[in-house]
Amino acid sequence: MEVFKGSFTQQEPIPDDAIDAAVAVMRHGRLHRYNTAGDEIAETALLEQEFAALVGAKYCLAVASGGYAMATALRAVGVKPGDKVLSNAFTLAPVPGAIAAVGAEPVFVDVTDGLVIDLDDLAGKLDQAKVLLLSHMRGHICDMDALMAMCDAAGVTVIEDCAHTMGAAWNGVASGRQGAIGCYSCQTYKHVNAGEGGLLVTDDAEMAARAIMLSGSYMLYEKHLAGPPPETFDRIKYETPNISGRMDNLRAALLRPQLRKLEAQVARWNERYFTLEAGMRHTPGLTVIERAAGESIVGSSIQFLLQGWAADKVRDALRRCLARGVELKWFGAAEPLGFTSRYDSWRYAPSDPLPKSDAVLAGLIDMRVPLTFSIDDCTLIARIIREEVSAVYQQA
């Protein structure tokens, strides 16, 4: 019986040019983004400028984490304690956590069996909030043209959580560039790796200025190459609190060389993703998630559905796969486990029952696709999943 012996959590090494850049920062010791010598430009300011150019944004801010970026975005668009914020039922804990961090309350919107926000359910809830924190969860992008038309007509501001879609696009528009603000993560399991970190982009000068002040710029905002003009800060600098969450130059130095390789890395992820997808397609009892024609993906994880399966059968399939070295996550479990949780796990964010989402999550299986996997690894993993899922399904 074949067994996969690789690791689902092992990332590729940091590239040598990124290590060299980080060592240079450590040698001069100026890790704080505003600690520069003479006419030196901080690594963090250069990262912001380069990322803004990469996604086609006017302004960019580098911060401590993707979660901090989302909370800052919510504050920058004017969300106050007690406000309601629309968001996906299918997401990860930092998304409702960001809403809770500003004292707001989430209104969860159903997920479809394509793993994107349900636009019909959204249409019925648009009158409940003025902001949508839209999670492109696990890299699945909904029909952004339709969503933006709905939200614009209703006067709802969209913030995009692009933790899983850096390098992805909808109809050629980079993920994070349709809403008012796009937020990205640079955590180890994302598409560029600084261990932790986040990026925020926008074309709105006042939102950018508020975000910069919120991040803890003191009165050093003119050091932001990808920030708005100084006059934008004239009023808000006196009324915007400092909620320190800056990125440092060490992490920025690690990230800049990785960003230059992002396009090539995306191609590598997608080769692995589509190998896995092809290997699992037509497995009895298993439903592959079909990707929309307008979606340019980054396949750093893959999902499938065991629709209509009893919980004990799902657990049996996962147990059998794990015995052969294939680590799968299940979003239908009653208790949160590791990174995996669901909307009714977050008791700090009470929610109404969502039977449609519950039915999707009950059969939703998730798997990381690190670039340390070879194509042969992906072929083997798909074969193991196919064999074990088929075996359990045929017992049903």
In a domain, 42, yes or no: yes
SS3 326: coil
If asked whether residues 52 and 184 sit together in one domain, one would say yes
In a domain, 318, yes or no: yes
pLDDT digits (tens, 9 = 90+) for 19-70: 999 999 999 999 999 999 999 999 999 999 999 999 999 999 999 999 999 9
Query: Of 209, 256, 215, 265, nearest to 237 (Cα)?
Result: 209
State which of 211, 240, 260 marks the end of a domain.
Answer: 260
If asked whether residues 225 and 274 sit together in one domain, one would say no
Give the residue numbers spanning the domain of 169: 16-260
Q: What is the largest CA-CA distance in the chain?
A: 72
Beta bridge partners of 183: 161, 200
Report d(CA 389, CA 396) in Å as an integer: 11
Beta bridge partners of 337: 340
pLDDT digits (tens, 9 = 90+) for 289-340: 999 999 999 999 999 999 999 999 999 999 999 999 999 999 998 888 888 8
State which of 217, 244, 260 marks the end of a domain.
Answer: 260
If asked whether residues 51 and 152 sit together in one domain, one would say yes
If asked whether residues 239 and 301 sit together in one domain, one would say no
In a domain, 10, yes or no: no
In a domain, 191, yes or no: yes
If asked whether residues 235 and 256 sit together in one domain, one would say yes
State which of 242, 260, 278 marks the end of a domain.
Answer: 260
If asked whether residues 279 and 175 sit together in one domain, one would say no
If asked whether residues 218 and 286 sit together in one domain, one would say no
pTM for the full predicted model: 0.97
If asked whether residues 320 and 243 sit together in one domain, one would say no
In the chain, % of residues over pLDDT 90: 95
Report d(CA 129, CA 107) in Å as an integer: 8
Q: Who contacts 272 (Cβ-Cβ below 8 Å, separation ≥6)?
A: 299, 369, 371, 373, 375, 378
Taking residues 194-204, report their average pLDDT.
98
For residue 118, pLDDT over 90 is answered with yes
If asked whether residues 44 and 155 sit together in one domain, one would say yes
If asked whether residues 62 and 114 sit together in one domain, one would say yes
Q: How confident is the model at residue 99 (pLDDT cuts 50, 70, 90)?
A: very high
Q: How confident is the model at residue 396 (pLDDT cuts 50, 70, 90)?
A: low
If asked whether residues 156 and 211 sit together in one domain, one would say yes
How many folded domains does the chain comprise?
A: 2
